[in-house]
Structure 1
Amino acid sequence: MHILVTGGAGFIGSNFVHYVLANTDHSVTVLDKLTYAGNLASLDGLPEDRFRFVKGDIADAGLVDGLVAEHDAVVHYAAESHNDNSLSDPRPFLETNIIGTYTLIEAARRHGTRFHHISTDEVYGDLELDDPARFTEQTPYNPSSPYSSTKAGSDLLVRAWVRSFGLQATISNCSNNYGPYQHVEKFIPRQITNVLRGERPKLYGTGENVRDWIHANDHSSAVLTILEKGVIGETYLIGADGEKNNKDVVELILTQLGQPADAYDHVNDRPGHDLRYAIDSTKLRTELGWTPQFSDFEAGLADTIAWYREHEAWWAPQKDATEARYLAQGQ
């Protein structure tokens, strides 16, 4: 296949591009606007005969139509995705997550192109800390932030285009990713790079909030499995049974980097901070035969720490501005 990957210079998208080119004979074109979260350095070293990069906006209908017409499939990662940013300025989330997705699915509809839409477990809202339940494909949507509500809206657009226009699409909702190429504003790389720079990690509130962590390589393998084997019109939840609260994650990072487990600072909690996410990926595993490689979170975290230790030149240019922004927020 010739695959168009939107947002392929971002964290999860770039991991997917590396995974596809390393494990298949497919070719990839990346379409990315290169906002602050996109980084061309994340695409270094890819084979020139099977990879090209196009700078552009997914809301640019003319550009999108021409690119979609040239490809067998679109994998749509491009999104504004940081909750804190959505609370301070929601409009870019509407423009990218809603209008951008609409532009892409209209082009895919016109050209009969296979479409896979990347979403998040945050569209389901949150769970109580002591609730044994996990999100499934049947869980009602209950988003709680401008980010998660615009992602929910984009999911519903894709579903409507499947039903109304026969769009050849699938959707996946994934739990929190970690791994290489993640911007240092995000929770795990922020704490890792703080320790690497001799600074103390920062923990929102009491740190009891639980996330269901999955390594980006496992997310990539799941998306490729859905693209190749998934049933049109279906939604698949992607998770690796990696539930950890934020306090445990920070303490594990400190321990793996040889620091005392309590060498962190508490900072202001984010407004409306969801309590717990948890994914039930039974459908993906039983119907499509997918299994994660990094089923041990501690091993995946060690792999991630090693990457950030070895790639300071990649993350250092982002670090000072990111920390200055958090400091202004009391975080």
Structure 2
Amino acid sequence: MINLAPLHTFGFSSKATDLLCIDDLTSIPELDHSPYFILGEGSNTVFLEDYQGTILKVALSGVSVKETDKEYQVRTAAGENWHKLVVTLLDKGIFGTENLALIPGTVGAAPIQNIGAYGREFADFCHSVETINLDTGEIDILSAKDCQFAYRDSIFKSAAMPRTLITHVNLRFAKDWQRVTNYGELQQLPGEPGAKEIFAKVVEIRKNKLPDPAQFGNAGSFFKNPYISQSSYSDLKKRWPAIPGFTINSGIVKVPAAWFIDTLGFKGKVIGGIICHQNQPLVLANYNNGQPAELLTLAREIKRAVKKEFDVELENEVRLMGAQGLITL
């Protein structure tokens, strides 16, 4: 059995049947129909039980850049660290990812989750995603449209993409860069900040708000920010005038899940060794040798309380792994 504690940032001492490291395309194994799970850096996955299958650890590496008159074309392997890629691109004068600084995980995980922060999403600059079918060995390239990106979602989470491994992503960045500073604390930046100033501010914010997984095991935002109807938001606004909201379109409003959790008094709440973080209640952290059952208890308590008080259904953003595969709250 393989110890999974160092392979996911929550650090629970779960195990798996086997581990295979994929560091080039020739090392991709021929798989039978036994269970397996594809893992990058484990920053968005929590292993709650011993997994009865094989972990495929993605370690493909390499970044290449081509340039045209109007854009930069970047191809990067799925095993590259996302934040290091952001830094590399900024150093090369390629701007666009600065709002997504310090998001943990690999490049290959970015399209699955359609990672996003501070007004930008991965989908904004994705051109295509290269994949390989683990049953047939067939290689395919999905356009950004084919990826069906949505808020923290993509086709890669659906049953339409079984047994598929992302090997590379292709990104496009216009040389006519447009800053995005109209979200959250970025609005406090004076004047017309450059990409590196935005990057520095995002890093500062994230370091101040979010616990370092090396000190307190966590997987970042545990819940998705819910999308609710404009009418539901208006009703909530009558009862809680301070409720924040970001209009997505004429009928949909995104409300920070942290606001619901904080308003109900969960910030700083502890169950066993698990805490709802005192600076960012959207983060549940393993601060004192917490156990999986304690994490589930706290998460489910939050979910039930938000549903009861606000009639809003929170969904976990973190992937929760049981013995046979993904589970839900």
Normalised by the shorter chain, which TM-score bucket? under 0.3
Over alpha carbons, which structure has the higher Rg? 2
Structure number with the higher strand fraction is 2
The normalised TM-score by structure 1 is 0.27
The normalised TM-score by structure 2 is 0.27
